[in-house]
Structure 1
Amino acid sequence: MSKYFITAIILMMVFISTPLPCKAEDIPDANNRFTFEIYQKLTHGKEDKNLFFSPFSIISAMVMTYEGARGQTKEEMEKVFHFPVDDKARREGFLKLINEINKKDKKYELHTANALWAEKSYKFLEDYLKTVERYYHGKATNVGFIDPSEREQAVSMINSWVLGHTNGKIKDIIKPQAVSQDTRLILTNAIYFKGKWKLQFDKKLTKDDDFKVTADKKIKVPMMRMAMKGFNDYPEFNYAETDELQALELPYEGEELSMLILLPKGNLENLEKTLSYEKIEGIKRSLSLRLVELYLPRFKFETEYSLNSVFAEMGMPTAFSNFADFSGMDGTKKLKIDKVIHKAFVEVNEEGTEAAAATAVVMVTKSALNEPKKPVVFRADHPFIFIIQHNKTGAILFIGRVYEPK
């Protein structure tokens, strides 16, 4: 039996057994556990590359796909994404988090959007479409994938939607060749963030300086320096230190979001091997205010990932096979996931951060310390990890690795 395709696209952008009862708070926890598991997969064998993605964008697109999964397909997805099995808890948890992230009257720009693009001649279950719209704000639009001329128009419409919801940062996430006459559904998520630092860097203090990419390679980069009033008047930031790293939290204006920077004392690869949800939570608990002399490079880069093989390696191969069961979408077993595409953009400068990301899924037929007088020096002049988090919920919205600032 042939299978029709589902495609999921996730976009992101940043500027500077019997289940136990579940709570809404479990969704940020699921998101964060997934973050570090997929981070390990995306960095494996690519130790010399910049990395940036939005786990929240990915998980938002995939939960809409999961709502239609059944049997082994559903069980595998539950394990990979740590979704609560309880429908009520999962749906209300996501709805609460989506509403919190998209609330109005804030000192920064942060919004997410979900959408479904359905082949107009294909019958999807009304219950599925209503569930996705009610709990994930994913409204379905009927388009034509079967007819070549209509297919081109559908691709253009989807790309325009993504472009608009990422403030023009994510372009052409869907290539024409990614869609075929077998495509039946494309699910998209877009996330955009633009925030100013609570304490901005003085552009006059930014100077070209060495960035040690490796022991044998140095490059010149615009290195920002943080000072408040005078040259030796240092700011206070949440800071922690262990034998293997320095950690620094930079709040954005309004202090509802922040960037957590992990600067290894040795090799970044060694730090990444032990990176986990539990480790990050421990670091966050140990943060305390310190005077800091801060050096951070300006950087801007884009990334794009095809996640099919990554998800299969993580434990959900069935969704991409002819044994896939997405009968919760259409009442049949004709659908399988064809492609999962994620594209992201990040820029960090003296004023703050801008970031965006998008994900698409294509479906086809089948405690405080005593403060010292002298500041600690936090000099990010070698590869490091950064995390942008929503402080109220604890959800990680973006994560990246700066290997070579550009």
Structure 2
Amino acid sequence: MEDLSRANSLFALDLYRRLSASNAEENVFFSPLSISTALSMVYLGVRGDTAKEMAKVLSLSSVSDVHSHFKTLTSTINRPSTSYILRLANRLFGEKTLNFLPEYLHSILKLYHTELQALDFIGAPEMSRQLINKWVEEQTENKIKDLLKRGAVNETTQLVLVNAIYFKGCWIQTFDTRDTQEMPFKINQNESRPVKMMYQKDIFPFRYIPEYELQVLELPYKKFKLSMLILLPKKTQDDSDSLLKLESELTIDKLLDWTKRDNMVPRMEVKVHLPKFKLEFESYLLKILQEMGMSSLFQETKADLTGMSSQDCHFNLSVVHKAFIEVNEEGTEAAGGSRVCDGPNKIESQSFIADHPFMFFIRHNPTDSILFLGRFRGPS
């Protein structure tokens, strides 16, 4: 499963760069694991060049037993916990007149724990759209609403693949609401906006990367199964964009090395200033995935879907992703223990003041999987 985790991380960083480039001045937030899982269900049913393209874009070419590993991964992530809520759910919605191969339906049930729900796209496309949106709302505690906009489903639609992920967790050490104060957040060299800045001082895993003047902080959630990792570049004194520079030079090896807990100072006393924020980000990924090299899947004359259906089917397939996150004093809600006491060898305090743009992700520590990934460039 380690190879799959790395493959998913490679895809996550590649997609992050492209979303950042197309939303240059905006906040970005998405669930790369959700997207990878949804696309892997399509990958299960494609053949020929379509399969080769998908494997390359998803970085799956060197991963053996891809779907078995995804089964293990999703089962591990969905394991019940008393310290947080984390659900990863998949569902296929297919046109009721289309004959899907029994082998494909059996495989997605066995490997992805989902069935295909037949809908009447031809006769009742709008009702079908509403049913799909309702399912997504239920899976994300009503945080993701109206995923498919009016008109996104029509009488030519044959298959809709939906993946939903929901996470809600409490910090292992919560922020005291009495310490939250309004502070300026520096959008760029010339502009600042007020944010509600949370504060606490405690022991956290921390690392400083001198060649990038980068602070890396891990804020664990209860039981340490999940963590938020924040990459905070130095605040610049000129017109340069330190976050943009970090994004352009960041590689998967650097990201994994910098945020590996074994490579961090495990017991640094850190004075943390972190904004309260709420983000909702919607992205239409068809064009981006085509630019990444997944082209034939979205071309009716080239898509090889013979692993799904023996019929000459050309799925009107769109890839829509919508993600929500709220970070506050109690913890994090995203649609991605006991307090650690001071020891006798306490290290001197380190200030971590996130009052300018930063990158962050939420990691499932047992599987080293990036559940959510984004950047905060300031309040809108």
Q: What is aligned with 2:108? A: 132
Instruction: Check conservation: 1:325, 1:333, Cα contact below 8 A.
Output: no
Letter in 2 for 1:115: R
Tell me the equivalent position of 2:248: 273
Q: Residues 264 and 240 (structure 1 numbering): CA distance in 2 closer, same or farther, change over 3 Å?
A: same
Higher share in strand: 1
TM-aligned CA deviation for residue 84 of structure 1:
5.1
> 1:68 Cα shift?
1.0
Task: Compute the displacement of 1:281 (Å).
Answer: 1.3
- 241, 250, 255: which one pairs with 2:224? 255
Which of 192, 215, 229 is equivalent to 2:166?
Answer: 192
- 1:120 corresponds in structure 2 to 96
- Give, in whole Å, the separation in 2 of the partners of 1:138 and 1:47: 36
Distance 2:345 2:11 in 1: 36
Q: Which residue number in structure 2 is paired with residue 239 of structure 1?
A: 206
- Aligned with residue 72 of structure 2, among 83, 87, 96: 96
Distance 1:86 1:352 in 2: 34
Take 1:30 and 1:319, find their aligned partners in 2: how far apart are those partners? 20
Q: Which residue of 2 aligns with 1:360?
A: none
1:77 corresponds to 2:51: no
The 3 A distance-change label for structure 1 pair 176 and 373 is: closer
Tell me whether 195-204 or 285-294 shows the greater mean CA deviation: 285-294
Deviations 1:36-71 (A, max 9, x none): 011111111422100000000000110011111111
2:140 to 166, 172, 175: 166
2:206 counterpart letter in structure 1? Y
- Any idea what SS the aligned residue of 1:327 has? coil
Normalised by the length of structure 1, the TM-score is: 0.86
Partner in structure 1 of residue 281 of structure 2: 303
Shift of 1:405: 2.8
- Give, in angstroms, the shift of residue 371 of structure 1: 6.5
Does residue 287 of the first structure (1) align with residue 264 of the second (2)?
yes
In 1, the alpha carbon distance for the partners of 2:207 and 2:316 equals 42
- Is 1:41 matched with 2:18? yes
In structure 2, relative to structure 1, the CA distance for the partners of 1:37 and 1:371 (3 Å cut) is farther
Q: Secondary structure at the match of 2:224?
A: coil
Q: Using the alignment, how far apart are the partners of 1:54 and 1:390 within structure 2?
A: 12
Check if 1:62 corresponds to 2:52: no
Question: CA shift at 1:114, angstroms?
Answer: 0.6
Indicate how the Cα distance of structure 1 residues 373 and 63 shifts in structure 2: closer, same or farther if over 3 A, else same. Answer: closer
Is 1:28 aligned to 2:5, yes or no? yes
1:402 aligns with 2:376: yes
Gap change, CA 1:282 and 1:390, over 3 Å in 2: same
* 1:248–1:182 Cα change, 3 Å: same
1:203 to 177, 185, 193: 177
Q: Name the SS of the counterpart of 2:335 in structure 1.
A: strand
1:288 to partner: Cα distance: 1.3
1:391 paired residue number: 365
In structure 2, do the counterparts of structure 1 residues 371 and 303 end up closer, same or farther at CA, with 3 Å as the change threshold? farther
Residues in 1 aligned to 2:349 and 2:312: alpha-carbon distance in whole angstroms? 62
**Counterpart residue number, 1:316:** 294
Q: Matched residue of 2:348: which SS?
A: coil
Q: Structure 2: state its 5+ residue gaps.
A: 237-241, 337-343
Please tell me the root mean square deviation across aligned C-alpha atoms, in Å.
1.6
In the TM superposition, residue 254 of structure 1 has moved relative to its aligned partner by 1.1
Moved more, 100-109 or 331-340: 331-340
Unaligned runs of 5+ in 1: 1-23, 227-233, 358-369
Contact residue 26 and residue 84 of structure 1 kept, 8 A: no
Residues 157 and 316 of structure 2 are in contact (CA less than 8 Å); yes or no, is this contact kept in structure 1?
A: no
Q: Is the 1:209–1:220 contact (alpha carbons within 8 Å) kept by the matching residues of 2?
A: yes
More relative contact order, 1 or 2 (CA 8 Å, 6+ apart): 1
Higher mean C-alpha deviation, range 239-248 or range 375-384: 239-248
Separation in structure 1 between the aligned mates of residue 53 and residue 345 of structure 2, nearest angstrom: 48
The secondary structure found in structure 2 opposite 1:114 is strand
TM-score, structure 2 as length reference: 0.92
Contact 1:224 / 1:297 at 8 angstroms: preserved in 2? yes
What is the Cα deviation at residue 333 of structure 1?
A: 4.4
Q: Give the corresponding residue for 1:53.
A: 30
Q: Tell me how far 1:282 sits from its aligned partner.
A: 1.4
Question: Out of 195, 202, 208, which is 1:221 matched to?
Answer: 195
Question: Residue type of the partner of 1:96?
Answer: T
